[in-house]
Amino acid sequence: MSDQGTGRESWGPYPLILAGAVVGVIAIFFVDPRWGGFALGAVVMIAAALRFAGYGGQLSVRSKRTDVITLAVFGFVLVLTSLLLDNNQLKALILSLFDR
């Protein structure tokens, strides 16, 4: 017998994550880079949560732990970066940490 599930099981949440990523990228280009980056980061963190919950489908490329950590860190960095885009005080604080 084959381990391949039905078509629906093998795709899992992949179309939802893909649609969210497309909306985030469109928002980056046409609406506001801050909101689009925030939406894209949120979608990536949702993908991490879904992978952690056991929904794999096309999202399961590596081991579960590696996927969850990679997606969560990447999503967090996207959200943090989008929040820093227009915050000059916070940018100055972060840059002062690296000035020497």
Give dist(CA 71, CA 99) in Å, integer. 30
Please state, in angstroms and rounded to a whole number, the distance separating the CA atoms of residues 4 and 59: 15
Is 1 inside a domain boundary? no
Give CA–CA dist 10/23, Å, rounded: 23
Quickly list DSSP for 22-76: HHHHHHHHHT-HHHHHHHHHHHHHHHHHHHHTT--GGG-SS-HHHHHHHHHHHHH
Range of the domain at 91: 7-98
* Domain count of the fold of the chain: 1
pTM (whole model) above 0.95 = no
Is residue 62 situated within a structural domain? yes
Print pLDDT tens along the chain (100 aa): 445 555 445 666 778 888 988 998 998 899 888 888 899 999 999 988 888 887 766 656 678 888 889 889 999 999 888 888 888 887 788 788 888 6
- CA–CA dist 26, 46 (Å, integer): 18
2 is a domain residue: no
Query: Which of these, 42, 6, 8, lies nearest to 24 by C-alpha position?
Result: 42
Task: Examine residue 18 and state whether it is found in any structural domain, yes or no.
Answer: yes
